[in-house]
């Protein structure tokens, strides 16, 4: 094997190592994989920019090793790459579609005099998905080819040979555009590193991703979140978010406020208002590098949104109300919003109508104002109570017979009267920790329908919710009051102890305890979760279910992070950090990843105990019995469940 190649090529500025080795192979008249193998390296190691492979390539070609590595993403594991001193996720750097600037590719051919397959090179700064413009020619980057197999995708010479004709003929050309501030900022970060801008204090990929999500939210009125943003306008989304974010937190909060007031009402919820910005930061982008953006959005919502029990804040259920709007206070007290606003403004809680914001967004401290609101409450008739709580008369009568909704004033000389605020507070207590449900599907039912289908009294279901026996309670975001409370029909039926109840499907069980269905299925196959065979009522086929004993067996041994957080009345982020500080390992036999799942024996050893101990497990709801040492033990760990 020769120490140096007789036929070589100059490395182009910003060119990647895989592009260079592919062009070298074409220059020597051989396929890329075979060429790399003959040179003593595997093409895959060049794609991943492994140092020994690039060192060998530099020695053979005469190219400088530093230049070869400068614009070649280095795979560091867990689908992450180091590139230009920054960490990128594979989805943000190595997508199946390879993009480039046709003007640059034509220039490669014109200045070299070589065949296109040997001349046209892929630049490293074209790879990040947030780069959409060639700043040299002001030409938008265009898709060149798509290929799922990395070996074929990065065989640049072979792919360039296929498209050279249309590139040289100008068929991939697009209208030029001036660079946007985001384009210039991203290119500067790649070339020169961090500066002193507000976004420059954060790693590049999370900062750019936040700009993308923020900009996507700004376009929500024109392009719904479920509709994919066209490639040719994605740069507008990136730049809109950058213009909002680059000045700092005050500007971001102002943009968020404008977005939340743009369409709809607070009753729509922050998830519906902010779309992907909320969903991704709440549920997907939970790593430390996204924490500043996640906290910023969370704090903004907590400070500007009238959230109450049954609502959700960044994946955590809201247990108590911090803020009221005039509208939510009107619902809680049963007082007409116009009259209530006048009373609140005279007492100094809000601005008068016409001076402040609309009723839905005019906020005040719910805790501090509680005595004042309570003083305004007047007894109402049964019909008024039913109307204001969205409670059908038939349901009201049945619940009254079971001891619910007792009147606040009873006398022989007049009809009984009810306290609307007390009734609203009772419904809020039933919704504490509820899941947000936009469209009831998959066995979600309101209490009235569930009671009717199961041939039981609604009071039985209300009692289950009060006792926290139901692990899944939903809040229908399109309804208010009693009609908004949803339960899972299969779970209610199982708790009734009926022999014919089929139990919970593996998927439903996983959702119930806060586990991914794929992990639950794997645990079933491994024998870590026991199941019972039953007949699917629709297909009549045999199917695995978790009966009451199967669920008890799981709860005696395991607890998920979501269950533990609910039991301690704390956020899952706080509990997760506390478990890590206490050295409690997640359940991972032989290094197998089962997510945020723990064994009670490990938790009891160094964090907290349940009562009775783990041979009895949690109650069905995942909450501790009265007098449980959970709280005392958690305080010993420096936590405060209150």
* 227-270 pLDDT per residue, tens: 666 677 789 999 999 999 999 999 999 999 888 877 667 777 78
H or E, element range at 534:
strand 532-535
Q: Are the C-beta atoms of 198 and 247 separated by less than 8 Å? A: yes
Integer angstrom CA distances of residue 319 from 99, 200, 307, 310 = 48, 36, 9, 7
Give residue 378's pLDDT.
Answer: 67
Between the alpha carbon of residue 388 and those of residues 89, 334, 380, 383, the distances in Å are 50, 6, 10, 9
- All residue ranges of the chain with pLDDT < 70 are 1-3, 220-230, 263-264, 377-378, 409, 411-414, 498-503, 535-540, 569, 610-642
d(CA 104, CA 54): 25
Angle between helices 249-262 and 234-245 (to 10 degrees): 120
Q: Which residues contact 184 (CB under 8 A, 6 or more apart)?
A: 135
Cβ proximity of 263 and 221 under 8 Å: yes
Q: Is the peptide bond before 612 cis (omega within 30 degrees of 0)?
A: yes
Structure tokens at 507: 């998927």
Helix (H, G, I), strand (E, B) or coil at 485: strand
Place of tokens 């490990």: 602
Residue 102, Cβ neighbours under 10 Å: how many? Answer: 25
Q: What is the pLDDT of residue 377?
A: 67
Q: Which two tokens stand for residue 122?
A: 């892929």
Which pLDDT does position 539 carry in this prediction? 61
Check the CA dihedral 350-353-357-359 and report its sign: positive
Q: What is the DSSP letter of 266?
A: G
Q: Identify the pLDDT of residue 218.
A: 81
CB 600 within 8 A of CB 557: yes
Number of helices followed by number of strands (H, E) in the chain: 32, 22
The per-residue pLDDT for 447 is: 95
Sign of CA dihedral 592, 596, 597, 602: positive
Helices (H), 467-529: 489-495, 506-513, 517-525
Q: What is the pTM of this model?
A: 0.69
* pLDDT computed for residue 632 by the predictor: 33
What does the pLDDT read at residue 264?
66
Which helix (H) or strand (E) covers residue 107, if one does?
helix 102-112
What local confidence, expressed as pLDDT, does residue 138 receive? 96
pLDDT of 270 reads 83
DSSP string, 14-73: TB-HHHHHHHHHHHTTS-HHHHHHHTTS-HHHHHTT-HHHHHHHHHHH---HHHHHHTSP
Please give the DSSP secondary-structure letter assigned to residue 406: -
CB-based burial label for 487 (10 Å; 0-12, 13-18, 19+): buried
Task: Give CA–CA dist 304/77, Å, rounded.
Answer: 40
- Distance, in Å, from the CA atom of 199 to the CA atom of 424, rounded to the nearest integer, reads 44
Please say whether the beta carbons of 487 and 445 come within 8 A.
yes
Question: How far is residue 11 CA from its own chain's centroid?
Answer: 42
Instruction: Give yes or no for a contact between 478 and 424, defined as CB atoms under 8 angstroms apart.
Output: no
Q: Residue 260 and residue 398: Cα distance in Å, rounded?
A: 40
Contacts of 308 (CB under 8 A, 6+ apart): 318, 321, 328, 428
pLDDT (0 to 100) of residue 105: 97
Beta strands in 119-202 (DSSP E): 133-134, 139-140, 142-146
d(CA 54, CA 69): 7
Is 542 within 8 Å of 621 (Cβ atoms)? no
Residue closest to 246 by CA, chosen among 310, 201, 205: 201
C-alpha distances in Å from residue 425, one per residue of 48, 310, 405? 58, 12, 11
């Amino acid at each position: 094997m020769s120490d140096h190649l007789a036929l070589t090529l100059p490395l182009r500025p910003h060119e990647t190592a895989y592009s260079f080795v592919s062009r070298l192979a074409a220059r020597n008249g051989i396929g890329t994989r075979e060429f790399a193998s003959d040179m003593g390296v595997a093409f895959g190691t060049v794609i991943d920019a492994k140092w020994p492979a690039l060192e060998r390539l530099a020695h053979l070609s005469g190219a400088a090793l530093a230049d070869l590595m400068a614009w070649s993403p280095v795979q560091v594991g867990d689908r992450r790459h180091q590139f230009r001193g920054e960490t990128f996720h594979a989805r943000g750097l190595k997508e199946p579609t390879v993009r480039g600037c046709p003007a640059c590719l034509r220039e490669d051919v014109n200045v070299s005099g070589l065949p296109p397959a040997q001349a046209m090179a892929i630049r490293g700064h074209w790879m990040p998905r947030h780069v959409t413009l060639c700043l040299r020619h002001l030409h938008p980057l265009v898709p060149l080819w798509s290929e799922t197999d990395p070996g074929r995708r990065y065989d640049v010479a072979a792919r360039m040979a296929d498209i050279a004709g249309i590139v040289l003929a100008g068929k991939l050309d697009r209208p030029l555009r001036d660079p946007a501030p985001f384009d210039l900022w991203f290119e500067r970060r790649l070339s020169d590193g961090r500066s002193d801008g507000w976004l420059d204090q954060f790693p590049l990929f999370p900062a750019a991703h936040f700009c993308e999500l923020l900009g996507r939210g700004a376009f929500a009125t024109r392009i719904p979140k479920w509709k994919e943003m066209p490639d040719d306008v994605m740069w507008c989304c990136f730049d809109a978010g950058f213009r909002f974010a680059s000045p700092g937190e005050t500007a971001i909060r102002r943009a968020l406020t404008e977005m939340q007031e743009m369409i709809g009402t607070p009753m729509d919820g922050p998830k519906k208002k902010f779309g992907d910005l909320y969903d991704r930061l709440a549920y997907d982008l939970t790593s430390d590098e996204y924490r500043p953006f996640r906290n910023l959005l969370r704090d903004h919502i907590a400070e500007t949104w009238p959230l109450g029990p049954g609502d959700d804040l960044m994946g955590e259920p809201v247990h108590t109300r911090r803020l009221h709007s005039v509208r939510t206070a009107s619902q809680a007290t049963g007082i007409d919003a116009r009259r209530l606003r006048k009373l609140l403004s005279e007492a100094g809680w809000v601005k008068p109508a016409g001076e402040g914001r609309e009723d839905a967004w005019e906020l005040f401290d719910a805790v501090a104002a509680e005595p004042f609101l309570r003083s305004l409450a007047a007894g109402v008739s049964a019909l008024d109570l039913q109307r204001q709580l969205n409670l059908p008369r038939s349901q009201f009568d049945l619940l009254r017979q079971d001891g619910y909704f007792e009147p606040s004033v009873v006398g022989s000389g007049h009809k009984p009267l009810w306290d609307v605020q007390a009734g609203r507070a009772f419904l809020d207590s039933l919704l504490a920790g509820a899941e947000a449900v936009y469209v009831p599907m998959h066995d979600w039912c309101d209490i009235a329908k569930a009671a009717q289908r199961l041939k039981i009294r609604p009071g039985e279901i209300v009692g289950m919710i009060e006792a926290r026996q139901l692990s899944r309670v939903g809040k229908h975001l399109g309804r208010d009051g009693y009609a908004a409370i949803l339960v899972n029909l299969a779970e209610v039926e199982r708790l009734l102890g009926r022999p014919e109840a089929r139990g919970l499907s593996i998927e439903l069980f996983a959702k119930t305890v806060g586990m991914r269905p794929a992990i639950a299925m794997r645990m079933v196959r491994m024998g870590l979760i026991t199941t019972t065979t039953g007949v699917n009522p629709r297909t009549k086929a045999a199917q695995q279910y978790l009966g009451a004993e199967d669920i008890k067996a799981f709860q005696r041994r395991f607890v998920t992070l979501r269950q533990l957080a609910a039991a301690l009345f704390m956020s899952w982020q706080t509990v997760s950090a506390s478990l890590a500080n206490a050295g409690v390992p997640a359940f991972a036999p032989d290094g197998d990843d089962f997510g945020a799942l723990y064994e009670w024996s490990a938790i009891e050893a160094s964090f907290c105990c349940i009562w009775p101990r783990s041979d009895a497990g949690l109650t069905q709801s995942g909450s501790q019995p009265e007098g449980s040492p959970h709280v005392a033990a958690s305080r010993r760990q420096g936590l405060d469940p209150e």
